[in-house]
């Protein structure tokens, strides 16, 4: 290729003018020709590398970009970037494909999974993205199964370390080389070493505040103001080298927690004769934003037995973040779980800690895989087509053949799939299948249209009610399916609908 071949002559000097003479052995890789044509290769090579966008929510609202899922696409695509937002300033562009969220590879995941990871990241998120055309070319060259997203190796991540002062102080000294570059020297057996600070660590943040603009005196004052305990974001030499090699920023959302004073709690509740025994109330949190808080926890009831405390803030329902959701939608998500509910909560002290470090408690959940319940299949996305042609809605969908699929609950009690429905189509289809779950093992596929459940047809005017019947059905579930392909979706969704090009989209 012109200008990209490796030079085969090493006797020329930079800046030396030589007359070009064609050499059949060298061909177009002649170094003189390369010098003339190649003005700057760095831009060409950078097109083949993913970009990293570290976004921050402003005023507790959103990151400033819209994400959509295209029919038959390889993953979610950025469809709009709001001007003047963190997303625009960090270089996120319309058409970018998201390969990774923090240290999670999501290039083969569905829209709902990617959105879940982004929302669970809290006020800061690191996105690994690629422009769509470069992604498509590279995918065609390397195959659909190739992993294009760089990640940090196991245990090779920045550390969020909470240090409590003892008789020897915090147990570290600070080496200052230039503004914003500080290294920590550890006292053997001191508080910092016990808190997990690695040898030769570089300091990135103090109590959630970056030190890249700090002077030595300002940093010393910041640590002194912390009192008897301080939380540091640090990175060891091995991690810094790997991030440098991958081109990744040393970002806080990549961090693993060490000796953290507070952690999120996962509560599993099973409804009793008098309900769950708690009250959910919407009120302002520490950041001034509305949140969902748990009160009036009744002694002897399921909530209290599971460990719920008055004043806990609700973080997630069934493993999905409820940050930014209104009260009614949060209540609906809890009710959709039926008689068994999994909640992630933080007490006031933990809420204050994670608010200070500006990270979501879900990033430090020791057991992020929350057991699902059979009622998980009740969670739906209503895709409401806008003003479809009359002839489209009047013509019923006629499946070409059908097949049976029998499902048994998995170890956590769930079936491992999610349903959606098009409001004007009155039909249910599978929008997500959990890899390795019961539905996946039974052969259920995304795009399957559900015709019958245990012999009862699902089509009609009351499909949301059918979802509740699905949740209450006793196992096993015998499903009658049709249209086992994306093409089946395209043939069934009314033409001209906005949802033909994007099944789901939303502001993040």
Confidence at residue 68, expressed as pLDDT on a 0 to 100 scale: 82
Confidence at residue 187, expressed as pLDDT on a 0 to 100 scale: 94
SS3 288: coil
Confidence at residue 44, expressed as pLDDT on a 0 to 100 scale: 37
Cα(52)–Cα(249) distance, rounded to whole angstroms? 7
The mean pLDDT of the chain is 75
**Percent helix, strand, coil in the chain (nearest 5)?**
25, 25, 45
Cα(490)–Cα(500) distance, rounded to whole angstroms? 7
First-to-last alpha carbon distance for the chain, in angstroms, is 41
pLDDT-derived band of residue 2, with 50, 70 and 90 as boundaries?
Answer: very low
Q: Report whether 81 contacts 87 (CB < 8 A).
A: yes
CATH 3.30.465.10 for domain 377-507: no
Task: Tell me how far CA of residue 60 lies from CA of 22, 64, 284, in angstroms.
Answer: 63, 11, 12
Confidence at residue 6, expressed as pLDDT on a 0 to 100 scale: 40
Q: Report whether 243 contacts 176 (CB < 8 A).
A: no
Question: How far is Cα of residue 52 from the mean position of the Cα atoms in its chain?
Answer: 14
The total of other beta-carbon atoms located within 10 Å of residue 262's CB is: 18
Q: Report whether 319 contacts 369 (CB < 8 A).
A: yes
Cα(55)–Cα(249) distance, rounded to whole angstroms? 12
Average pLDDT over residues 239-265: 91
Domain at 51-142: CATH code: 2.30.42.10
pLDDT digits (tens, 9 = 90+) for 74-122: 568 898 899 989 999 999 999 898 989 998 888 878 888 888 889 889 9
Q: Report whether 350 contacts 387 (CB < 8 A).
A: no
Confidence at residue 138, expressed as pLDDT on a 0 to 100 scale: 61
Average pLDDT over residues 365-374: 48
Cα(223)–Cα(207) distance, rounded to whole angstroms? 9
**247 preceded by cis ω (within 30°)?**
no
Confidence at residue 72, expressed as pLDDT on a 0 to 100 scale: 56
Confidence at residue 506, expressed as pLDDT on a 0 to 100 scale: 59
Confidence at residue 75, expressed as pLDDT on a 0 to 100 scale: 66
pLDDT-derived band of residue 435, with 50, 70 and 90 as boundaries?
Answer: low
Confidence at residue 232, expressed as pLDDT on a 0 to 100 scale: 97
State how beta strands 229-235 and 209-210 pair: unpaired
pTM above 0.85, yes or no: no
CATH 2.30.42.10 for domain 159-246: yes
Q: Is the per-residue pLDDT at 53 higher than 90?
A: yes
Delimit the CATH 2.30.42.10 region(s) of the chain: 51-142, 159-246, 265-371, 377-507
What are the residues whose beta carbons fall under 8 Å from the beta carbon of 239, sequence distance 6 or more? 152, 156, 157, 158, 250
Confidence at residue 311, expressed as pLDDT on a 0 to 100 scale: 95
Cα(293)–Cα(351) distance, rounded to whole angstroms? 11
Cα(347)–Cα(310) distance, rounded to whole angstroms? 8
Q: Report whether 495 contacts 54 (CB < 8 A).
A: no
Highest mean pLDDT among 42-56, 108-122, 127-141: 108-122
> CA neighbours within 13 Å on the CB side: how many for 178?
0
As assigned by CATH, the class of the 265-371 domain is mainly beta
pLDDT digits (tens, 9 = 90+) for 204-251: 999 999 999 999 999 999 999 999 999 999 999 999 999 998 888 999
pLDDT-derived band of residue 56, with 50, 70 and 90 as boundaries?
Answer: very high
pLDDT-derived band of residue 131, with 50, 70 and 90 as boundaries?
Answer: confident
């Amino acid at each position: 290729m012109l200008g990209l071949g490796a030079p085969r002559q090493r006797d020329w000097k930079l800046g030396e003018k030589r007359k070009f003479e064609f050499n059949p052995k060298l061909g177009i890789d002649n170094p003189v020709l390369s010098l003339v044509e190649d003005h700057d290769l760095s831009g060409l090579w950078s097109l083949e590398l993913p970009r990293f966008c570290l976004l921050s929510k402003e005023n507790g609202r959103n990151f400033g970009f819209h994400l959509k899922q295209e029919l038959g696409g390889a993953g979610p695509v950025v469809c709009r970037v709001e001007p003047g937002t963190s997303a625009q300033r960090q270089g996120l562009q319309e058409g970018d494909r998201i390969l990774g969220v923090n240290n999670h590879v999501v290039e083969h995941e569905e829209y709902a999974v990617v959105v879940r990871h982004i929302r669970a990241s809290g006020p800061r998120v690191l996105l690994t993205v690629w422009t769509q055309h470069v992604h498509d070319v590279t995918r065609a060259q390397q195959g659909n199964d190739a992993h294009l997203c760089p990640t940090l190796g196991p245990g090779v991540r920045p550390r969020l370390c909470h240090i409590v002062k003892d008789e020897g102080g915090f147990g570290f000294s600070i080496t200052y080389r230039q503004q914003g570059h500080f290294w920590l020297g550890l006292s053997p057996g001191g508080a910092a070493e016990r808190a997990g600070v690695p040898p030769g660590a570089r300091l990135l943040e103090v109590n959630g505040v970056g030190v890249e603009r700090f002077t030595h005196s300002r940093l010393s004052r910041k640590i002194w103001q912390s009192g008897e305990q301080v939380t540091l974001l640090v990175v060891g030499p091995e991690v810094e080298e790997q991030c440098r090699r991958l081109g990744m920023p040393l970002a806080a959302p990549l961090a693993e927690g060490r000796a953290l004073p507070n952690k999120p709690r996962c509560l599993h509740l099973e409804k009793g004769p008098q309900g769950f025994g708690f009250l959910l109330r919407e009120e302002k949190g520490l950041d001034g934003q509305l949140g969902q808080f748990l009160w009036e926890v009744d002694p002897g009831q399921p909530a209290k037995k599971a460990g719920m405390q008055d004043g806990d803030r609700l973080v997630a329902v069934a493993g999905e973040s409820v940050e930014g959701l209104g009260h009614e939608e949060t209540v609906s998500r809890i009710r959709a779980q039926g008689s068994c509910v999994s909640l992630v909560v933080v007490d006031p002290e933990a809420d204050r800690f994670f608010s200070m470090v500006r990270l979501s408690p879900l990033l430090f959940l020791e057991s992020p895989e929350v057991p699902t319940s059979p009622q998980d299949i009740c969670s739906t996305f209503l895709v409401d087509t806008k003003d479809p042609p009359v002839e489209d809605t009047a013509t019923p969908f006629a499946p070409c053949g059908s097949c049976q699929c029998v499902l048994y609950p998995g170890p956590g009690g769930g079936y491992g799939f999610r349903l959606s429905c098009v409001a004007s189509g009155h039909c249910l289809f599978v929008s997500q299948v959990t890899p390795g779950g019961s539905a996946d093992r039974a052969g259920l596929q995304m795009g399957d249209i559900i015709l019958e459940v245990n012999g009862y047809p699902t089509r009609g005017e009351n499909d949301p009610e059918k979802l509740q019947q699905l949740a209450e059905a006793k196992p096993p579930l015998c499903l009658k399916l049709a249209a086992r392909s994306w093409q089946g979706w395209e043939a069934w969704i009314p033409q001209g609908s906005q949802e033909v090009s994007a099944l789901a989209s939303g502001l993040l």
